[in-house]
């Protein structure tokens, strides 16, 4: 892939790329996995893969919150909208396919579905129309969950929450259980880590002997993280390291963690195309049940159709295939007319690739 954007510091970039070549094994393949849509954006748009030796591969795991939201939970949001509830959601969520309909389809059919930029916007919107019932479709990882928690604690009168938050460390553990993926190291996401800190990743070097480096989102951050993982592999070590010290601490954001702990309990959660992962989702605690849209409007869908016919999102999301290996990629599935969830949101791997490769500059 060609280099698409310019590095801020080309000289330092060259030096780090050279260091990477020096520590990389001469012939053995190394597979490094990140779990973050923003990392994939940086890697793809800056052509970072083209700077790495051919035997060092960086793959994308399930790091796009829109992509991992299962069809059953989109179906629940659609059902809420069809019951006359005004559903508020982030813009990326609108076109994510449910089993039959997306929220955009429901809106086109007359349902009241509105885009908001935050949970707080949804609360303000509901306050302005006190005679209507609103629901906020709360998706995202540990990064966005604290802002949902803050709004739950405000106990809004006519707004409830369809909570679909997911947790990153259990998804990383899932990847290690897929034997033929054979991951050699993890780049952990900077923004999630700013909230949860380093501690939840301790398990990876300790129990799995997996080098793990928390990294930021500048291209040099990612290159440094690759270097740090290769260095550990060369030394025969597995450590948890922090490349993103300017934003991430060992403890993380204790206030945000306390908010999440106050409002949510950790439960098993369904991930689109990947099945049910233990301890990987948030649910509102019983004391907040009256703010739970599922409870309030009796909406609960257990199973949905995660993958439209031919869609390979379940394999793209674990880095087993590249988007270009999906037979629908840029044929029937395009950013303008997405078939699968990975082509919808700005953090979806297929969409990132489609935009980087197919957009003339």
Q: Cα–Cα distance between 69 and 349 in angstroms, integer?
A: 15
Nearest to 19 by CA among 316, 208, 234: 234
Crossing angle (nearest 10°) for helices 119-128 and 145-153: 30
State in angstroms the smallest separation of the CB of 277 from ligand SF4.
20
Report the residue number whose CB is nearest to ligand SF4.
340
Nearer to ligand SF4, 97 or 197 (CB): 97
State in angstroms the smallest separation of the CB of 327 from ligand SF4.
7
Question: What is the token pair recorded at 243?
Answer: 């490349």
Q: For 253-281, what is the HEC assignment?
A: CHHHHHHHHHHEEEEEEEECCCEEEEEEE
Nearer to ligand SF4, 132 or 322 (CB): 322
State in angstroms the smallest separation of the CB of 99 from ligand SF4.
15
Query: Quick one: residue 241, left, alpha or beta (phi over 0 = left, psi -120 to 50 = alpha)?
Result: beta
State in angstroms the smallest separation of the CB of 306 from ligand SF4.
10
Q: Which residues bind ligand SF4 (CB under 6 A)?
A: 311-313, 316, 323, 326, 328-329, 333, 339-340, 342-343, 350
A 10 A CB-CB count for 17 gives 18
Give whole-number Cα distances, 356 to 46, 287, 297, in Å.
Answer: 9, 46, 42
Q: Cα–Cα distance between 88 and 103 in angstroms, integer?
A: 10
Q: Cα–Cα distance between 225 and 347 in angstroms, integer?
A: 20
Q: Is the dihedral of CA 35, 116, 267, 99 positive or negative?
A: negative
State in angstroms the smallest separation of the CB of 336 from ligand SF4.
12
Nearer to ligand SF4, 138 or 350 (CB): 350
Nearer to ligand SF4, 145 or 328 (CB): 328
Nearer to ligand SF4, 231 or 272 (CB): 272
Nearer to ligand SF4, 96 or 116 (CB): 96
State in angstroms the smallest separation of the CB of 344 from ligand SF4.
8
State in angstroms the smallest separation of the CB of 323 from ligand SF4.
5
Question: What is the token pair recorded at 293?
Answer: 């849209």
Nearer to ligand SF4, 181 or 203 (CB): 181
């Amino acid at each position: 892939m060609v280099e698409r954007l310019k590095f801020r510091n080309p000289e330092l970039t060259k030096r780090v790329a050279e260091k990477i070549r020096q520590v990389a094994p001469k012939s053995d393949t190394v597979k490094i996995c990140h779990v973050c849509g923003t990392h994939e954006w940086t890697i793809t748009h800056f052509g970072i893969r083209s700077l790495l030796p051919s035997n060092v591969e960086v793959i994308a795991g399930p790091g796009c919150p829109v992509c991992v939201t299962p069809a059953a939970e989109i179906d629940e949001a659609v059902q809420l909208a069809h019951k006359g509830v005004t559903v508020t959601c982030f813009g990326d969520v609108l076109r994510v396919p449910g089993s039959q309909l997306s929220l955009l389809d429901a809106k086109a059919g007359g349902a009241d579905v509105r885009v908001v930029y935050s949970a707080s916007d949804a609360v303000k919107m509901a306050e302005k129309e006190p005679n209507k019932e609103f629901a906020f479709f709360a998706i995202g990882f540990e990064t966005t969950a604290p802002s949902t928690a803050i709004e739950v604690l405000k106990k809004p009168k006519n707004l409830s929450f369809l909570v679909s938050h997911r947790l990153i460390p259990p998804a990383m553990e899932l990847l290690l259980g897929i034997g033929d993926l054979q991951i050699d190291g993890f780049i952990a996401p900077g923004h999630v880590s700013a909230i949860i800190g380093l501690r939840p990743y301790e398990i990876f070097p300790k129990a799995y002997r997996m080098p793990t480096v928390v990294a930021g989102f500048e291209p040099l951050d990612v290159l440094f993280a690759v270097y740090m993982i290769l260095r550990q592999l060369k030394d025969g070590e597995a450590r948890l390291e922090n490349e993103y010290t300017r934003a991430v601490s060992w403890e993380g954001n204790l206030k945000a963690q306390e908010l999440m702990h106050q409002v949510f309990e950790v439960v098993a959660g369904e991930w689109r195309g990947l099945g049910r992962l233990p301890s990987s989702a948030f649910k509102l605690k019983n004391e907040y049940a009256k703010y739970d849209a599922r409870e309030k409007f009796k909406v609960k869908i257990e199973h949905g159709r995660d993958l439209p016919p031919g869609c390979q999102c379940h394999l793209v999301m674990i880095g087993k295939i590249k988007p270009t290996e999906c037979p629908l990629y840029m044929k029937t599935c395009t950013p303008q007319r997405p078939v699968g969830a990975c082509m919808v949101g700005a953090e979806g791997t297929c969409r990132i690739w489609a935009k980087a490769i197919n957009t003339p500059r």
